[in-house]
Amino acid sequence: EIVLTQSPATLSLSPGERATLSCRASQSVSSYLAWYQQKPGQAPRLLIYAASNRATGIPARFSGSGSGTDFTLTISSLEPEDFAVYYCQQRRSWPLTFGGGTNVEVK
Amino acid sequence: EVQLVESGGGLVQPGGSLRLSCAASGFIFSSHWMHWVRQAPGEGLVWVSGINNPGSSPYYADSVKGRFTISRDNAKNTLYLQMNSLSAEDTAIYYCARGLYENYFDPWGQGTLVTVSS
């Protein structure tokens, strides 16, 4: 099973600041990695797939990068609606796995 | 508009069974893999099971293998999850999700809560 480790667990930032979230895989997942956003009481929403492709309707301030074992989700300038929990997920091999999440909170 | 609506959750005793359904609309259901993902209260996301377009190849997390069965009815645009031998560890919100490029998840349903308790 591929283990995904996200860091930091919590990121405290102010609106307008840049957010950098990390996801590290226990073995190579090539570019088969996605990022999701989840707000309290809501279902997750796909942000990025195949490491760097924005999903439909996702603002350009969200970007993804990386390949192999190290990946980054960057939010260039935090909007109030971006404070949420973010998860990475790999589809390289079964079972499909998620990281433990990064909580982006208001500083 | 793509929509996924789960149903069938509720309170069940340990050792009991439950069948979840996910009604899909707004897209060609038979053209997509489908998945179940769960989230225990206050916890992260855990993939549970996925099934290919025709329904011939199911996949399971080890934690549910042998107890849960995923299936689909492409004529009814509906995904199912039969859950047997339930334990407290299965308590969670269960989401269904459409497979994007097979095994990314987009979109997600609103979820249905399963509570296993005596």
**Per-residue pLDDT tens digits for B74-116:** 999 999 999 999 999 999 999 999 998 879 999 999 999 999 9
Pairwise CB contact (< 8 Å): A46 & B107: yes
Side-chain-side CA neighbours of A41 within 13 Å: the count stands at: 0
CA angle B9, B14, B15 (to 5 degrees): 100
Residue type present at position B55: G
What local confidence, expressed as pLDDT, does residue B108 receive? 98
What local confidence, expressed as pLDDT, does residue B103 receive? 94
- For residues A83 and B100, the model is more confident at A83
Pairwise CB contact (< 8 Å): A43 & B108: yes
CB under 8 Å to B46, separation ≥6 — which residues?
A: A98, B37, B38, B39, B40, B61, B63, B92
Rounded distance, CA A70 to CA A64, Å? Answer: 11
Span A4-19, average pLDDT: 98
Chain B nearest C-alpha distance from A95 (Å): 6
Buried b / exposed e along A76-105 (16+ C-beta atoms within 10 A): eebeeebbbbbbbbbbbeebbbbbbbbebe
Give the nearest chain A residue to B41 (CA atoms). Answer: A41
Residue B24 CA, distance from chain mean position: 12
Pairwise CB contact (< 8 Å): A44 & B45: yes
What local confidence, expressed as pLDDT, does residue B101 receive? 86
Average pLDDT of chain A?
98
Lookup: tokens for A10: 């919590």
pLDDT in tens, B68-80: 999 999 999 999 9
Nearest to B50 among A96, A97, A101 (CB): A96
- Count of residues making up chain B: 118
What local confidence, expressed as pLDDT, does residue A100 receive? 98
What local confidence, expressed as pLDDT, does residue B105 receive? 97
Rounded distance, CA A62 to CA A71, Å? Answer: 14
pLDDT in tens, B31-45: 999 999 999 999 999
Nearest to B47 among A43, A45, A97 (CB): A97
Q: What is the DSSP letter of A54?
A: E
Chain B CB contacts of A44 below 8 Å:
37, 45, 95, 105, 108
What local confidence, expressed as pLDDT, does residue A30 receive? 97
Q: Which of A54, A86, A96 to mutate to test the interface with B (most CBs of B within 10 A)?
A: A96
Pairwise CB contact (< 8 Å): B59 & A97: no
> Is residue A43 very low, low, confident or very high in pLDDT (cuts 50, 70, 90)?
very high
Rounded distance, CA A19 to CA A15, Å? Answer: 10
What local confidence, expressed as pLDDT, does residue A15 receive? 97
Closest CA to B2 of B71, B102, B94, B98: B98
Chain A CB contacts of B104 below 8 Å:
34, 46, 49-50, 89, 91
